[in-house]
Amino acid sequence: MAAQINPSILSADFARLAEEAKAVEGADWLHVDVMDNHFVPNLTLGVPIVESLSRATDIPLDCHLMIEDPDRWAPQYVEAGAGSVTFHAEAAAAPVRTAREIRAKGARASMALKPATPIEPYEDLLPELDMLLIMTVEPGFGGQSFLDIMLPKIRRTRQLIAKHGLQLWLQVDGGVSAATIERCAEAGADVFVAGSAVYNTDDPAAAVRMLRHQADEATAKAPWACAH
Ligand SMILES: O=C(CO)[C@@H](O)[C@H](O)COP(=O)(O)O
Ligand SMILES: [Fe+2]
């Protein structure tokens, strides 16, 4: 599979979201950061804006829920038009049930881990998921520096996916840029969220193509992909 690049609209102009989606035509997914000022110290947008955005763009929406009580809210984001819904392991009371509800409603189910949350306790849940998101910054804000101490966790997760013969995608989010994407791809990520590295440029669509090219080149040389 070619690397997937998901621009994060957190770095876009919220008053012009439809135009900002058009500016990244060719992106695989549009990453939508939902924050509730409880799970993270920031507040962004909710169900009504996801509903409007899904009508305004053909790019499928990848909703990253940084909220409390995702068990209650996640299905509503599928109904609002999200093609993929990510809830945080630290916030979900019933992650298996929530993942099954997301899938039953027709979207891809995904779970996120904050930097200090290990993957190992969640090994048995992996078959319930279509994607696992490893945060490479503390969630809450765009434009932070990539935490390269997360690279071993990406490697271990890729090994677990291979051990179980699973197809799930491995997403990284936070500080992903031309300077860091190759290390993420080499370690085993195949879906890359990029906010500032895409939107804080003169040509966001070109930035998407360049990041994808860099990731594909790094993946082609990676031991995990050769053994795939
Ligand atoms: O979920 C988050 C932050 O909590 C991310 O999706 C950011 O929006 C990524 O922004 P950059 O680090 O790429 O600027
Ligand atoms: Fe995100």
Binding site membership of 64 for ligand 1 (Cβ less than 6 Å): yes
**pLDDT of the residue at 107:** 99
pLDDT band at 220 (very low <50, low <70, confident <90, very high): very high
Residue 142 CB–ligand 1 contact under 6 Å: yes
Hey, which of 36, 38, 141, 184 would you mutate to test ligand 1's pocket, going by the most ligand atoms within 8 Å of its Cβ?
141
Ligand 1 pocket mutation pick from 8, 64, 90 by most atoms within 8 angstroms of CB: 8
CA–centroid distance, 104 to ligand 2, in Å, is 23
Model confidence at 60: pLDDT above 60 = yes
Instruction: Please determine, for residue 226, whether its predicted confidence score (pLDDT) is greater than 90.
Output: no
pLDDT of residue 81: 98
Prediction ipTM score: 0.99
Percentage of the chain lying above the pLDDT 70 cut:
99
- CATH code at position 32: 3.20.20.70
- 7 C-beta closer than 6 A to ligand 1: no
pLDDT of res. 74: 98
Average pLDDT over residues 16-44: 98
pLDDT tens readout for residues 161-171: 999 999 999 99
What's the pLDDT tens digit per position in 108-135? Answer: 999 999 999 999 999 999 999 999 999 9
CB of 173 shorter than 6 A to ligand 1: yes
Instruction: Check whether 9 has a pLDDT greater than 60.
Output: yes
pLDDT at 228: 57
> How far away, in angstroms, is 226 Cα from ligand 1 center?
29
Domain count within the chain: 1
145 is in an annotated binding site: no
Cα(171) to centroid(ligand 1), Å = 12
Q: DSSP for the chain?
A: ---EEEEBGGGS-GGGHHHHHHTTTT-S-EEEEEEBSSSSS-B---HHHHHHHHHH-SSPEEEEEESS-HHHHHHHHHHTT-SEEEEETTT-S-HHHHHHHHHHTTSEEEEEE-TTS-SGGGGGGGGG-SEEEEESS-TT-SSPPP-GGGHHHHHHHHHHHHHTT---EEEEESS-STTTHHHHHHHT--EEEESHHHHTSS-HHHHHHHHHHHHHHHHHT-HHHHT-
**Predicted local confidence at residue 227, as pLDDT:** 58
* Range(s) of the domain holding residue 55: 4-226
Q: Is the pLDDT of residue 40 over 70?
A: yes
Tell whether 8 is in a known binding site: yes
pLDDT tens, position by position, 154-199: 999 999 999 999 999 999 999 999 999 999 999 999 999 999 999 9
Averaged pLDDT of the chain: 97
pLDDT tens per residue, range 80-113: 999 999 999 999 999 999 999 999 999 999 999 9
